[in-house]
Structure formats: structure tokens, C-alpha cells
Homo-oligomer: A and B are copies of this chain.
Amino acid sequence: MTQAGPPPTVLVPWPVGDAPPGLTATVYDGIMDPPADVLGVELYVVPYQSNDTSLGLIGTLPALKSVQLLTAGYEHIIDLLPPGVELHNGAGLHDASTAEHAVALILAAQRELPRWALNQERHVWDRRFTRSLADSRVLIVGYGNIGRAIEARLLPFETSVTKVAGRARRPENVHAADDLPQLLPNHDIVVLVVPDSPQTRGLIGAAELALLPDDALVVNVGRGSALDQTALIAENGRIRAALDVVRVEPLPTDDPLWSAPGVYITPHIAGGSAAFWPRAHRLVNAQLERWAAGEPLINRVATGA
């Protein structure tokens, strides 16, 4: 009854079937040219594979109030935000994908999946007993949402899980990072899920690797900087590793890590699976409904200064 002026316009990366009433949604996927008329755009959902054009657009929208990202990382956007524009990230969109890849890496290492893949190439049927995930003592280092998702997936495999975060959180039975020296000797598998920060750089170095029992497995689905690759290579197979992230990406062709014994590498694809899209659609739809209802959007991480 009291609709005043033109409806607010939102820029979305895919067609939204039933935009909530009161919203006009315009599609901009980051590949096509940006729409000609962007004067009314108040909310901009940046396409997932962002580029100079799609990011540059942020500074050209006179009515812009909020930017929604589909990635968890947002540091590269802050400087692009006009004053007062709020930034919302895609926290959680990759959790299911990343957690399942962490388990995939663990199973690949324990059940020697790379060996069978290489043998298949040569048509070789060579049976061997392998390690198991069952009965393993797993240490999750960086116990946030993804760590929690990894734990949920691991527990039915008849494992035990110990949790570590920056600080101890007693109610959740989470240990502090300071406890690592006491914890490492009693675990068979260490899963790293920490972001890059001064506190996490080199978190697992020569001293920490030395504390692990023979044949322990280090899995990294967080950031490459947490693990000292030189120290890992120096272990010469005593410690195994399954790494989705490395210090320099892409890993240089001549890096010795490629053929270090007991090291299995995937090219930073933990978060990049089909699990992403339905979760991204659900987040965008929910944010549009909040927007239409005049409610605050979730996942606010910054405001343009």
C-alpha cells in the first residue's frame, strides 16, 4: 500500500526464480558486460569467479549499500568498498566441500588410493594390506566450523578425535595450540584447518613433526603456510602427508615436494566441488529475503571506511 519510489535493485550472479516481493533482481554473472543501468543497485552479489571488471563495478554503483561475496576470504575487497558500504562474506559455503575433501585425503593416504590409481594405469593388480582410518587417533588443528564438519564425518569411522584451536574452549573440549607438544606424540593423523596468520605460520615445523609417531599423517586443507614443507621433506617418509594447499601455489614444477616419499598432493580443490552451488544459492536467497524484509543481512565482515 505504501510502496514509495522505484523498488531497490539487486545485482545477482544467476537468475533468482522468485525474487522476494519489492525487489528487482538483475543478473550479472561477471562474464557478460555489466548492466547499462546500475544507478539503483543497492545490493551487489559479486560473481564467484571475480575479476577486475566485476570487482571494479563495486566503486561505480552510486546507490550501493551492501556487497555480498561468495567466498570466505574478503581481505582483497576491503579497499574497494566505498565509505559506509557493508561487506558480507560467504562463510560456510565451502565447509561441506572442504570437510569431505579432508576425509578423502585421509582415506586416500590410509588406503593408498594413489598407488591403486598408478597401478591401474599400468594394468597391474597387486594386492597389499593397507593402513586404516579405523582406530586412528585424529588431531584437528583449527577447530572452527570446518573442523567441526570434519569431526562429524570422522567419528563414524571408529576413530577418536582431539580438537585444538588458538585458545582452549573447555565446554567443547577444545585444547589450546600451546598444548600441541603434549598432543602430537599421541596422534596418528593431524588435520590442519587454520587460516594464514602470524600465529599459524610454520605452526607445524621440524620440532612438531619430530614429536609425531612414525608413519603419522599430516593433512592440510587450510593454508600452506601452516606447514614447514622443508621440514616435511627432511622427514623423508617417516611422516606422511596429504596436502591440498602448499606454500606457493601453483606448486612449482621442480619443487621436491611433488615426489617426496609418502606425500600426496591435490591442487587446492578442497572447497571447489558441486557442494558449493546449492549452498551459495541458499545463502543468496536467504539474504535477498532479509533485504526485502528490511532485516540486517548475516555474515557482515566489514564496512567501507
Contact = CB atoms under 8 A, between A and B. Distances in A.
Interface stretch (A22-30, A120-128, A233-241): A120-128
A129 B258 contact: no
Contacts of A254: 123
A278 to B, nearest CB: 6
B126 A267 contact: yes
A250 interface: yes
Contact of A118 (B110, B117, B127, B250): B117
B108 A104 contact: yes
A247 interface: no
Nearest to A258: B123
Contact of A130 (B110, B113, B116, B269): B269
Contacts of A128: 269, 272
A5 interface: no
Interface string A138-170: 000000000000001101111000000000000
A133 interface: yes
A264 B110 CA distance: 17
Contact of A114 (B113, B157, B275): B113
B158 A156 contact: no
A107 B103 contact: yes
A158 B107 contact: no
Contacts of A156: 152-153, 155-156
Interface stretch (A12-20, A94-102, A174-182): A94-102
A273 B158 CA distance: 14
Contacts of A60: none
Contacts of A120: 114, 258, 264-265
B273 A111 contact: yes
Interface string A267-281: 111001111101000
Interface string A241-257: 00000000111011100
A220 to B, nearest CB: 14
Contacts of A101: 111
Nearest to A271: B129
Contacts of A286: none
Contact of A153 (B116, B123, B130, B157): B157
A53 interface: no
Interface of A: 96-97, 100-101, 103-104, 107-108, 110-111, 113-114, 116-121, 123, 125-135, 152-153, 155-158, 249-251, 253-255, 258-259, 264-269, 272-276, 278
Given A108-B117, A113-B117, A129-B272, 12 more contacts: A101-B111, A107-B108, A113-B266, A117-B117, A119-B267, A123-B251, A123-B253, A123-B258, A132-B273, A152-B156, A155-B156, A156-B156
